[in-house]
A and B are shown apart, each in its own frame.
Chain A
């Protein structure tokens, strides 16, 4: 179940999503879950540095999907740096510890949400749609 804060954007516009997780299998699952939506373009990164390098290319991403726990740079740090590049980017954290999320992350800002792992296809799609468009249908 996703918890979220923030406002919607126009669903008719094409959306680029940047997903970062150090586990390639999780990225493959995210890709599979979001497949079939022509208006969603997914870019994948296996580290925070790689994700930020993608943002530095100038691509406008509507959403960052970030594993909260990664070895070199954790998801909230990736999000902080991503917002320094693009203050409008929304963030969906993937976490195995949603019940104690706030032990690790003291604040959930506007336009941020989190999704507990393991996640289902429906759960991910609802979380993405809720964060981007303000309702649960992608």
Chain B
């Protein structure tokens, strides 16, 4: 896998971890928990970053063809 693609993959992995944990925190926040909006902001920002990543560095999948 080329370095650029590896970096993109690793960056996406990190965003996925933030998204996954923040989604769980949002779901588990009790009604009225003041932290819920904070968790939602983290989740929203990670989703926006993921969308940005896709726009800035589109995944063409060339490495998949190179690997096999």
- Listed in ascending order, the chain A residues whose CB lies under 8 Å from chain B are 23, 25-26, 28-29, 32-33, 69, 96-97, 100, 103-104, 117-121
Does B33 sit at the interface, judged by CB under 8 A?
no
Partner of A118 from B9, B16, B24, B68 at Cβ < 8 Å: B16
Report the separation of the CA atoms of residues A113 and B68 in the bound assembly, to the nearest whole angstrom. 20
B67 touches A104 (CB 8 A): yes
A-chain residues with CB within 8 Å of residue B42 when the two chains form the complex:
none
A23 touches B20 (CB 8 A): no
Instruction: Knowing that A69-B9, A118-B15 touch, tell me 13 more A-B residue pairs with CB under 8 angstroms.
Output: A23-B10, A23-B13, A23-B14, A25-B17, A32-B20, A32-B21, A33-B20, A96-B9, A96-B59, A97-B64, A100-B64, A103-B65, A121-B23
A-chain residues with CB within 8 Å of residue B14 when the two chains form the complex:
23, 25
Q: Mark B14-46, 1 if CB is under 8 A from A, else 0.
A: 111101110110010000000000000000000
Partner of B12 from A96, A100, A103, A121 at Cβ < 8 Å: A96
Q: How many A-B residue pairs have CB under 8 A?
A: 55
- Listed in ascending order, the chain B residues whose CB lies under 8 Å from chain A are 1, 9-10, 12-17, 19-21, 23-24, 27, 50, 59, 61, 64-65, 67-68
Report the separation of the CA atoms of residues A28 and B19 in the bound assembly, to the nearest whole angstrom. 13
Partner of A117 from B12, B65, B67, B68 at Cβ < 8 Å: B12
Partner of A28 from B17, B27, B61, B65 at Cβ < 8 Å: B17
Q: Which residue of B lies closest to A25 (CB)?
A: B17
B16 touches A103 (CB 8 A): no
By Cβ-Cβ distance, the 5 closest A-B pairs, closest first, are A118-B16, A25-B17, A103-B64, A29-B20, A104-B64
Report the separation of the CA atoms of residues A126 and B49 in the bound assembly, to the nearest whole angstrom. 26
